[in-house]
Structure 1
Amino acid sequence: MRVGLVYEGDLDADEGVAHYVRTLAAGLRAANHDVTLLTAGPRPGGCADFPGGYSLAREVRVPINGNHVSVAWRASSTAIRRAIRDAPLDVLHIHVPHSPVLTGAMLRRLAPSTAVVATCHMTTSRVPTVLATRLWRRANRRSLARIDTSIAVSTTAAKYAREVFGVTPRVIPAMIEARQAQGTPERAAHVLFVGRLVPRKGAETLIEAFAALPRPHAGCTLVIAGDGPLRPALERRVRRLGIQARVTFAGHVTEAAKFELLAAADIACFPSSDGESFGVVLLEAMAAGGCVVLAGDNPGYSEVLDNHADLLVESGTLTARLDTLLADQALRERLCEWQQEHVQRFTVPTVLPQILDVYRQATRHDWRHELALAQR
């Protein structure tokens, strides 16, 4: 099957949708499907791991839903026409909401015989974001009408897609590749945070909770892996709390280094409280095998962790939960064992066949539609 995967940014970015596209591309190619990457970014194909493909637009970073995300800007009409001509597709896989500059332009020029599949990754309770996405839906009615079928990464994202985008998606989770750590970090963390340093992700909540741990944990360390606009303020807060000797800001880390940190930590903590439709980083932490995953009790994270009460936490009880887990190795081992079994539901061999089934249904639907038109 010939599949085009659209991502409106640099696929090397440390973002959930970029991870989704990279993992899907690798899985499809391993299954001998022909994959074309259609991106906005600094290099052709948009990803160092996948040669070829097309970089069709520039990207800009815009604040959406408490985060900064990539949006295509100043797309080349000539490049889009060339990509569609040179890479005929059975399926074009897009993501909603999308920019009319890149994805919208492709949909307007796409051959009628190409099926369109869309994935929705989004959820929010923020009123401005909900209003903005409703306006986006009104402005992009034609693009939405071109979608043959849709996917949501969680029931939370599916509910948002129905209410805001007017589509009824099939729920298929994001997936991860099973892998093993290739080494150990120079400094293993008792507690680890991985993610963008933006308010929504909750790094400040974790720092405050870590600083409040009782005296028996005075030797524990915290590593903050990731970067973002909050980093200077977080570093100042660590100094004011007097815990700078126990807290390391690792900055942006490579995929390999991230996996090594996860494998070596005792607890990987992700205290985001809002705006999460899924949680790929939770899956990565579980797959690493060495740490207990502790996550904010928001709908997306709760679904990934199957509502496991020992692994979900409100911000006001985070210090107490860290205290319990750090003090009880037997409990950590039991939770890790559960995680290792649970994460198998999200691996490529389990999830990819579900996506391929959606592709096949979409292309069969399209062929029936074309046949009906021809017989009129």
Structure 2
Amino acid sequence: MRILLISDYSTPSGGAELMTLSLRKQLRFRGHDVRLFASNARPIKLQPEADYSCFGTLSSIRGITQVLNPSAYNRLRQILKEFRPDVIHVRLFLSQLSPFILPLLKDTPAIYHVAWYRCICPIGTKLLPDQSPCQENAGIACIKNRCFPAAAWPSAMAQLSLWRLWSRNFSLIVANSYATQKKLLQYGIQADEVIWNGVPVHPYDRQLNQTPTVAFAGRLVTEKGVDDLLDAMHILVRRIPAASLLVAGDGPERKHLEARARRIGIGHHVVFLGHLSRLQLEERLKGAWVQVVPSRWEEPFGIVAAEAMMRGTAVLATNSGGLNEIIQDHETGLLVPANDPQSLAEALTTMLLNPRETETLGTNGRNFALRRLTEAGFVDRFEQLYAKLKQ
């Protein structure tokens, strides 16, 4: 089968991007001819891995190209003519590739695989500037709540209007969790299927660090709540002075977070590892006692949580979005309220002072991941959808 994957980015820089690259690899292994089309923009300085590319930018003109990207339209038209895919699978979308590509999909079965809230929120997170959840429709509320500069509002609204107009060209909309499906329906978008993400299966190799170690993995952006985790560590080290925190990932908040750790007196307890490949991440975090996912926004799924569970690491996460679908509180991990460093600190104290019970949570999480969150199972589901659409 000829399958065309479409994504805003092709750098291995985030969960959705990694899932797209992994899907291409696994489908090729199964004998399919799979190509990836993406912009050449790079959120971090990693090499793009697309088979086809078009213009992309992180500069101030991105607001224009998000509405009209002629390079994306012309390149995709050429690809469709030459490659003639049986199925098109659109993954991360609307940050670089504008809705003007959607009319090109009308003659080919196409899936929109929703990875975040970009199709209902111009900033993609459904968070207000004060980090509380937004419950309003995109529109004048975006200006009223000061979610982004007024000058950017017309282009953002134009993009969403074009998306609504041409989204009918998708044969199927797939959500990555039931929480995402529910959120989309709240704003008038019907997701036909729910397919959880899947992660690679690694041999069980738990070698706990001698001292209590907490880990975080993800983009260093405000909605990920790493500053809450730092504040929780500030409380924790008073109780468990040997505790340390590994922060794996990079992003625009890194310098601010490093400065915050020093300012609150825990700089020597925190190590910022920067961006790591998946293999490097597994190697560095396999000794962690707990992995924390302190997200403020409603994580559509939570790939890093699934990766930690597959590793056998106990997960402590905020109780929202897709996270509370894959984590059963006090069975496969612990859940706490978002925006609450005190609750994070209390849960971490309990977990680090009771390592045997914490390891049981990790073991239970791995067993759940082996049953429900494998990469092979994820690819199986999409392979079945492709075959159905092709018919």
Pair in the same fold by TM > 0.5: yes
Alignment partner of 1:332 out of 348, 358, 366: 358
The residue aligned with 1:217 is 240
Identity, % of aligned pairs? Answer: 26
In the alignment, is residue 116 of structure 1 matched against residue 104 of structure 2? no
Residue 228 and residue 184 in structure 1: after superposition, are their counterparts in 2 closer, same or farther (change >3 A)? farther
The residue aligned with 1:241 is 264
Aligned-partner Cα distance in 1 for 2:75–2:212 = 46
Range with bigger deviation, 263-272 or 133-142: 133-142
Listed as ranges, the gaps of 5+ residues in structure 1 are 63-69, 365-376
The residue aligned with 2:2 is 2
The residue aligned with 1:355 is 382
Listed as ranges, the gaps of 5+ residues in structure 2 are 118-125, 127-132, 143-155
Residue 184 and residue 135 in structure 1: after superposition, are their counterparts in 2 closer, same or farther (change >3 A)? farther
8 Å CA contact 2:217, 2:248 repeated in 1: yes
The alpha carbon displacement at 1:182 in A equals 9.6
Specify which structure has the higher proportion of strand: 1
8 Å CA contact 1:188, 1:265 repeated in 2: no
- 3-state SS of the aligned residue for 1:6? strand
The residue aligned with 2:13 is 14
TM-score (norm 1): 0.82
Letter in 2 for 1:75: S
Which aligned pairs between 1:53-132 and structure 2 lie closer than 5 A? 53-60=51-58, 73=69, 75-95=71-91, 98=94, 102=97, 104-110=99-105, 112=107, 114-123=108-117, 124=126, 125-127=133-135, 130-131=138-139
Range with bigger deviation, 178-187 or 70-79: 178-187
Letter in 2 for 1:104: P
Aligned-partner Cα distance in 1 for 2:346–2:265 = 20
8 Å CA contact 2:102, 2:167 repeated in 1: no
Aligned-partner Cα distance in 2 for 1:90–1:256 = 33
Letter in 2 for 1:197: L
The residue aligned with 1:322 is 348
RMSD across aligned positions (CA) = 3.2
- 3-state SS of the aligned residue for 1:208? helix
Aligned-partner Cα distance in 2 for 1:61–1:306 = 41
Which aligned pairs between 1:150-169 and structure 2 lie closer than 5 A? 150-164=173-187, 166-169=189-192
The alpha carbon displacement at 1:224 in A equals 1.4
The alpha carbon displacement at 1:117 in A equals 0.8
8 Å CA contact 1:154, 1:300 repeated in 2: yes
Q: Deviations over 1:283-305 (max 9, x none)?
A: 1111223x211111112211121
In the alignment, is residue 271 of structure 1 matched against residue 294 of structure 2? yes
The alpha carbon displacement at 1:237 in A equals 1.9
Letter in 2 for 1:320: E
- 3-state SS of the aligned residue for 2:322? helix
8 Å CA contact 2:115, 2:176 repeated in 1: yes
Alignment partner of 1:304 out of 308, 316, 326: 326
The alpha carbon displacement at 1:358 in A equals 1.7
Aligned residues between the structures? 350
Residue 110 and residue 277 in structure 1: after superposition, are their counterparts in 2 closer, same or farther (change >3 A)? closer
The alpha carbon displacement at 1:130 in A equals 4.0
Range with bigger deviation, 297-306 or 74-83: 74-83
Q: Deviations over 1:243-267 (max 9, x none)?
A: 2222111122222221112212111
- 3-state SS of the aligned residue for 2:91? strand
